[in-house]
Structure 1
Amino acid sequence: MQTKILLFLLASLTMSCSKQHSSSKATAPATGTEQNPSLISRVLVVKNANSPISVAIADDYMKRRGVTNSISINCPDGAVSQYRETIAYPDYVTAIETPLLAYLNTHSNIDFIVFTKGVPMRISNVPNKPYEGDCSLDSRVATLGYEKNAASSVVNVSDPNYGSTYVGTAWVNKFFNSETRFSHKAFGGYMVTRLDGYTLADAIAVTTRSLAAENNLKNGVKNEGQILLDACSDFDFLNKAAQPYTLLPANYKPGQSLTIVKESAYGEYNSDMGVAYNYLKSKNIPVLYDTTADFIGHKNNLAGYVSWGSNDGHYSAANYNSLYFSPGAIAETAVSTSARTLLPTTGGQSLIEDLVAQGVTGVKGYTDEPLLQGIASPSILFNRYTRGWTLAESFYAASRLEGWMGIVIGDPICTAYASSSNK
């Protein structure tokens, strides 16, 4: 039965791909040449044997990327309903964390972990987490081993705006704002992403776009599309000189506990977009930094995107859904629950899966409220990515907190720009 379902899904993929909207002049290849083949041995693919779509996406990625490291887990199929996108903590430990750690303990070369649609993306009943113990499964896995390292710092998080019972713990991301490329050996933890989309076709297209971007780079095809930074003028532009800010105090010592008692000011995120704009402009990378009250839409061939999504007081769903992207494009939105589900739904805040359906190659979202401190820094994100760092390294370097609420969709080793040491 599962074989028949898989064949049906793959047949559906062929038909669906022909209907995909394309905003790029570059042709997305079915296969591609890795920009840096040495990365391949550092990638581990995790697929859910109980999910035909998970198996199909994982097998496709491994074939086209040449990845050989993989494990199969057995848990409820997160691709069939929103209810199954969440797994209880005890079940997560048994079905996912235990076999994953067993593999990692005997494969010290692994730095990047790839989940596929069908693997649950949220854990419930996690000790010391808010919202009934929920946290991102991916972000939890990203910090495996942190608890055994004396240099790891716990962040105790609370915020009166979310009620007196809002408490939880995260980890300081050791890789935040790093100028050194990632390895598990050097930093601990892992770079965790997932290949996902509303449909099988959407999820597999994430790999296709990654390979297309690398093919374009290899062949000297320059992306002329803009990176759109859409600030919300209602939130002002605060502390410009302090961006991107750090959670670490001046006298910080590795291993000390930190505290967040209030969400950072919204205007700081606007200002961080301004830092990203200045950097991109200095490198002659096409960029539009919109500081008006408008919520920008109707753009094609975008190379990147940052906005407040539905948190923008002038948000337009029609405009949000009129943005289309070129191969290699990455995005971030300051939206609390932009990854509350990875399945089609209606109502609520704007979702990152819409951007995947509209052609983005990589995007970060949040299963539950991360506070603004948990959102990726736009300036660090685009600084690292346009210097030739991988998609995963760029998102993780831009993220202050891990073991928290974040999810990164994309091929972790996607490299869309030439390597450069320039800041």
Structure 2
Amino acid sequence: MRWFPRLCTLLALLGATAVRGDELAARVVLLANSEDRDSVRVAEHYAEVRGVPRENIVTLPMPLSETISWAEFVRTIWEPLAVELMRARWIDAIPMRLTDAVGRTKRAVSGHRIAYLVVCRGVPLRIAHDPALYEPVLPFTNNSIFRTNAGAVDSELGLLANPGYAINAFVPNALHRNDAPSAFERAAVIKVSRLDGPTVDDALGLVDRAVAAEQTGLLGRAYVDLGGNHPDGDRWLESVVRQLREAGFDLDVDRTPSTLRATARFDAPVLYFGWYAGAVNGPFKLPGFRFPPGAIALHIHSYSAQTLRSAEANWCGPLIARGVTATVGNVFEPYLQLTHRPDLLLRALLRGDTFGDAACYSQPVLSWQAIAIGDPLFRPFARAATDSEPGEVPSQRLAGYAVVREMLALEAAKRPDEALVLARRTQRDQPSFAVGLALAQRLKAAGDESGAADAVGFVPLLDSYRSDEWALAREAANLLRGAGRAPAAIEVFDRLLRSPGMPAGVKSAWLPDAIAAADAAKDLQRAENWRQELRTLEPRRAESAGSPPRQSRPGGRDARVPNGGAAAAEPATPAVRDVEGQRSD
């Protein structure tokens, strides 16, 4: 009965989380475009899944385009939404008869009771710069890169309870990195998150995947891709690396000048943090690639959320289309210091914050370019993955990652023998790539190559491999060859290299290993066939094996805006143009 106290504690924690979640759900307001039936559908689905009262859904007729003018924004979104929120007493305010230069009604606001404002697919995404509305906002517009009023719709709506702010440049976020905000600071900001994506099903899936992950905890591995050309970005990501290690995640870190290559191990990426390429590439582009439920992924780039209607352009849309549960991005050039801080986002999530709170905590400014995409009520670390029972996990494949994390926890507690016992028992009863390779790597490091081969001995028996298992199958085959089991290695390579949709560059990168296995097995015919295939593919190898190098200008050039809104100094290198005077994005 040793498990009983643990079960009681877990149920108590989950019960407390549910109570808090219900209370928060009652204070969620959903904004949908009445001109778009899918927009209303997303709002209604979210309300049903999360228990949000239907009367909290606000539908307004809006333009159907992603980019709108300031006049359209004020007329169709800001003003009618503010009126509705005041009518329903979500915002306590007294309207005046005066309007500001943008056309917004002036109001005396005393506070709000909105936990999160959820913007649904169909609500416009971006507001274009209007030169006629431009006025300097000192000290910010001393810096030429902030002489714009272009911005994200969501970022402007974050200031609905703070009317009268200047729309040019940005407004410091009172909740950024604020661990103990005052009532006044909380009242100044509305936390905004968006349910959006290339298709309506993508948007609907954001909440479904969040709820599924909360039942099991995050199941998968973590990946950090750094090595950019600006120290601040890499420093943030190094902090992410430390936090993930301390949290006990099985982790891969890439510090090469290029982004992750298509040949890299990238199975079950439930956490991904990277930069800096213009569009999704590398392992994300492999056929059939999907994130596991609950995955949080972000790629720092100036225009990562320029559009959310494409499954291939930029980053946010493609990540959502491939099954990510939560992400952040930028609709226009934000400049590096004014993007969401990945280290702060992770810090807040790991301590148990909701995605809506963590995104706001990590966002330095409002009335600017950053948006958060995902269910704001999503609390990814409300439950540890190692607390899941086998029947609760949607697949044996994902269950293996919880076992690997438990192995890492045992090793951190100086109990490596118990970790090996756990791995052997799991691999005997429910073999998986994750546990098999974890066990094999440890046995090989201890000099037991035969035991390592035994740990992956199930791999030749599999009928096929998923695209995110290709790199694992190749590693298993090499372990088998190294242990003198070349015929088994050949079987793995043969099945692997015949995988549908494998890019030519990936295949040519792995053919030398297959040839070595065939040579070791003295399978002359297969070795010659693979050599011939390699000769045919070699000219195409450079085109498709990996990912492009990172762009020369990282995540929006350093804006050097100190926390708290001090004057921004001009960067040493021009922010908008590179040394040749051309846009590099």
Give the TM-score of the pair, scaled to structure 1: 0.70
Q: Does 1:230 align with 2:187?
A: no
Q: After superposition, where does 1:393-408 map in structure 2 within 5 Å?
A: 393-408=357-372
Distance 1:334 1:131 in 2: 22
> Does the Cα contact within 8 Å between 1:225 and 1:326 map onto a contact in 2?
yes
Given the alignment, which residue of 35, 38, 42 partners 1:53?
38
- Deviation of the 1:132 alpha carbon: 6.6
Q: 1:132 to 1:377 in 2, by over 3 A?
A: closer
Given the alignment, which residue of 98, 101, 104 partners 2:79?
98
AA aligned to 1:334 is: I
3-state SS, counterpart of residue 300 of structure 1: coil
CA offset digits 1:194-226 (Å, max 9, x no partner): 11111111111111111112222xxxxx43412
Q: 1:345 to 1:416 in 2, by over 3 A?
A: closer
Distance 2:273 2:211 in 1: 23
What residue number does 1:299 align with? 266
What residue number does 2:113 align with? 109
Gaps of 5+ in 2: 1-17, 91-111, 136-145, 385-585
What residue number does 1:16 align with? none
Q: 1:34 to 1:207 in 2, by over 3 A?
A: farther
What residue number does 2:49 align with? 64
3-state SS, counterpart of residue 327 of structure 1: coil
Given the alignment, which residue of 305, 325, 330 partners 1:361?
325
Q: 1:182 to 1:405 in 2, by over 3 A?
A: farther
- Deviation of the 1:133 alpha carbon: 3.8
Q: 1:269 to 1:125 in 2, by over 3 A?
A: closer
CA offset digits 1:27-72 (Å, max 9, x no partner): xxxxxx7872111012100111000110111111111111121111
* Sequence identity (%): 26
Given the alignment, which residue of 89, 96, 119 partners 2:70?
89
Q: After superposition, where does 1:10-409 map in structure 2 within 5 Å?
A: 36-68=21-53, 69-77=56-64, 84-105=65-86, 106-107=89-90, 108-125=112-129, 127-128=133-134, 133-147=149-163, 168-180=168-180, 186-216=186-216, 222-232=217-227, 234-235=228-229, 266-296=230-260, 297=262, 299-310=266-277, 317-322=281-286, 324-344=290-310, 350-409=314-373
Q: Which has the higher strand share?
A: 1
Q: Does 1:416 align with 2:414?
A: no
3-state SS, counterpart of residue 229 of structure 1: strand
Q: Which has the higher helix share?
A: 2
Task: Between the two structures, name the one with larger relative contact order (CA 8 Å, sep ≥ 6).
Answer: 1
Gaps of 5+ in 1: 1-32, 78-83, 156-167, 217-221, 236-265
Distance 2:224 2:175 in 1: 24
Aligned-pair Cα RMSD in Å:
2.7
- Deviation of the 1:411 alpha carbon: 0.7
Q: 1:136 to 1:291 in 2, by over 3 A?
A: same
3-state SS, counterpart of residue 294 of structure 2: strand
AA aligned to 2:188 is: G
3-state SS, counterpart of residue 273 of structure 2: strand
AA aligned to 2:274 is: S
Pair member with larger Rg:
2
Give the TM-score of the pair, scaled to structure 2: 0.52
Q: 1:306 to 1:47 in 2, by over 3 A?
A: same
3-state SS, counterpart of residue 118 of structure 2: strand
> Does the Cα contact within 8 Å between 1:46 and 1:72 map onto a contact in 2?
yes
- Deviation of the 1:346 alpha carbon: 6.3
> Does the Cα contact within 8 Å between 2:219 and 2:292 map onto a contact in 1?
no
- Deviation of the 1:75 alpha carbon: 1.0
> Does the Cα contact within 8 Å between 1:41 and 1:110 map onto a contact in 2?
no
